[in-house]
Structure 1
Amino acid sequence: MSKFSEKCKEILKENGTNVYQLAIHASLERTTLQRMVTGKRLPPLGFLKSFCQALRLSKFEEEELFELYRIESMGEDAYRNEQSILHLLSHLRKLEEKDSFYNTKITSIQYQNMDLLSNTSSNIYDTELLMQYILKKEFSNDTEGFIYTNLPGTYESFLHSLELFYRQFQKKLCVHHLIHFQINSSLSSENLDMMHSVLLLYISNKLDYQVFYYYSRLNKNDILYMCFPYYIITSRHVLLMSSDFKMGIILSEKDIIKQYIHTFRKNCSLAAPLFQKISNLQGSMSIYKTDSIPSKSDIHYFHYQPCYVDLVGEQGIMERIKNFLPEFYEIGKQLVQSIIFKSNFPNLCFFSEQGLKEFCCTGKYYGQIGTFFPPLTVEERIEALKYFQSAPTFHNNRMIKESCSISFPKHLYFELLGTTSLQIIRIENLEIMDFITIEESSICEAFYHFFQTLQSSKYVYSAEETYSLISQCIDKLTQQS
Structure 2
Amino acid sequence: MSIFSDKLKEYMKQKNEKVYSLSQMCDISRANMYKIVQGTRHPANVEMVYRIADALGLSPYEKRGLIESYQITMIGKDIYEERSYIVHLISSLKKHRNLPVEWGQSKENPETQGKKKFLYGKKNVNGEIRKIIKREAQKESGKICVIGQPDYAFIQQMLISYCENKNVEIQHIICMESRENGERNTYNLSNFTHISPFLISECKYKAYYYYDNVQSHFYNLNLLPCVIVAGDEVIQGTSDYEYAIYDCSRERVNVFHKMFQDFLKRTSKIFRISQNLEEAGRWISMHKIDAVLSCDYAGYLFMEKWKGKTAKNLKIFISEEETKDASFNKWKIEEEKRDSWRDSLLEKKGKSCKIHSELFPVPENFLMLTETGGNILLIFEKENQNWGVLEIYETSIKKSMYQFLENLDKSLLAEHL
Give the TM-score, by structure 1 length.
0.72
Aligned to 2:103: 110
**Equivalent residue for 1:346, pick from 313, 321, 335:** 313
Aligned to 1:234: 230
Q: 1:419-476: CA deviations, max 9, x gaps?
A: 732112356899945532103232223323432443256654643xxxxxxxxxxxxx
Aligned to 2:170: 175
Could you tell me how far 1:7 is from its partner in structure 2? 2.3
> Measured at CA, do residues 138 and 427 of structure 1 come closer, stay the same or move farther in structure 2, by a change above 3 Å?
closer
Q: Does 1:199 align with 2:196?
A: yes
SS in 1 for 2:361: coil
Alpha-carbon separation, structure 1, partners of 2:34 and 2:415: 29
Could you tell me how far 1:233 is from its partner in structure 2? 0.9
Amino acid at match of 1:132: R
Alpha-carbon separation, structure 2, partners of 1:301 and 1:427: 17
Could you tell me how far 1:21 is from its partner in structure 2? 10
Aligned to 1:329: none
Compare 427-436 and 272-281 and name the one that shifted more. 427-436
Alpha-carbon separation, structure 2, partners of 1:148 and 1:162: 11
**Equivalent residue for 2:250, pick from 227, 238, 254:** 254
Alpha-carbon separation, structure 2, partners of 1:171 and 1:50: 51
> Measured at CA, do residues 344 and 16 of structure 1 come closer, stay the same or move farther in structure 2, by a change above 3 Å?
closer
Q: Percent identity?
A: 19
Aligned to 2:124: 126
Compare 115-124 and 48-57 and name the one that shifted more. 48-57
Aligned to 1:358: 324
**Equivalent residue for 2:163, pick from 159, 162, 166:** 166
Alpha-carbon separation, structure 1, partners of 2:88 and 2:300: 29
Aligned to 2:295: 304
> Measured at CA, do residues 429 and 145 of structure 1 come closer, stay the same or move farther in structure 2, by a change above 3 Å?
closer
Q: 1:60-85: CA deviations, max 9, x gaps?
A: 43432221111121211222222222
Alpha-carbon separation, structure 2, partners of 1:17 and 1:394: 41
Amino acid at match of 2:157: H
Alpha-carbon separation, structure 2, partners of 1:123 and 1:132: 14
Alpha-carbon separation, structure 2, partners of 1:9 and 1:221: 43
Alpha-carbon separation, structure 2, partners of 1:363 and 1:35: 42
Give the TM-score, by structure 2 length.
0.81
Alpha-carbon separation, structure 1, partners of 2:275 and 2:186: 29
SS in 1 for 2:239: coil
Alpha-carbon separation, structure 2, partners of 1:179 and 1:126: 24
Aligned to 1:186: 183
Q: RMSD between aligned alpha carbons?
A: 3.8
**Equivalent residue for 2:391, pick from 425, 437, 448:** 437
> Measured at CA, do residues 410 and 436 of structure 1 come closer, stay the same or move farther in structure 2, by a change above 3 Å?
same
Give the conservation status (yes or no) of the 8 Å contact 2:378–2:391: yes
Alpha-carbon separation, structure 2, partners of 1:110 and 1:425: 33
Give the conservation status (yes or no) of the 8 Å contact 2:118–2:245: yes
Could you tell me how far 1:186 is from its partner in structure 2? 3.5
Q: 1:275-318: CA deviations, max 9, x gaps?
A: 12344666554444334x5xxxx72212233156749x97xx5x
Alpha-carbon separation, structure 1, partners of 2:139 and 2:282: 38
**Equivalent residue for 2:147, pick from 145, 150, 156:** 150
Amino acid at match of 2:324: E
Could you tell me how far 1:385 is from its partner in structure 2? 1.9
Alpha-carbon separation, structure 2, partners of 1:245 and 1:115: 21
Alpha-carbon separation, structure 1, partners of 2:163 and 2:366: 24
Q: 1:6-62: CA deviations, max 9, x gaps?
A: 32343454456777998899974547735753x555443476567556655555434
> Measured at CA, do residues 206 and 63 of structure 1 come closer, stay the same or move farther in structure 2, by a change above 3 Å?
closer
Could you tell me how far 1:250 is from its partner in structure 2? 0.5
SS in 2 for 1:186: coil
Flag the structure with larger Rg.
1
Q: 1:95-116: CA deviations, max 9, x gaps?
A: 3xx5x7xxxxx98742442425
> Measured at CA, do residues 126 and 419 of structure 1 come closer, stay the same or move farther in structure 2, by a change above 3 Å?
farther
Compare 69-78 and 187-196 and name the one that shifted more. 187-196
Aligned to 1:64: 65
SS in 2 for 1:219: helix
Give the conservation status (yes or no) of the 8 Å contact 2:228–2:234: yes
Aligned to 1:33: 34
SS in 2 for 1:386: helix
Give the conservation status (yes or no) of the 8 Å contact 2:95–2:200: no
Matches within 5 A, 1:282-301: 285-291=281-287, 299-301=290-292
SS in 2 for 1:436: strand
SS in 2 for 1:176: strand
Segments of 4+ in structure 1 off by > 6 A? Answer: 17-27, 427-431
Query: Which runs of 5 or more residues in structure 1 are unaligned?
Result: 101-105, 318-334, 464-481
> Measured at CA, do residues 114 and 352 of structure 1 come closer, stay the same or move farther in structure 2, by a change above 3 Å?
farther
Q: Does 1:450 align with 2:404?
A: yes
Higher-strand-fraction structure: 2
SS in 2 for 1:213: strand
SS in 2 for 1:406: coil
SS in 2 for 1:152: coil
- Number of equivalences: 408
Aligned to 1:472: none
> Measured at CA, do residues 108 and 15 of structure 1 come closer, stay the same or move farther in structure 2, by a change above 3 Å?
closer
Aligned to 1:276: 272
Aligned to 2:6: 6
Query: Which runs of 5 or more residues in structure 2 are unaligned?
Result: none
Alpha-carbon separation, structure 1, partners of 2:227 and 2:162: 19
Give the conservation status (yes or no) of the 8 Å contact 1:416–1:444: no
Alpha-carbon separation, structure 2, partners of 1:110 and 1:461: 51
Amino acid at match of 2:103: Q
SS in 1 for 2:94: helix
Matches within 5 A, 1:309-324: 310=301
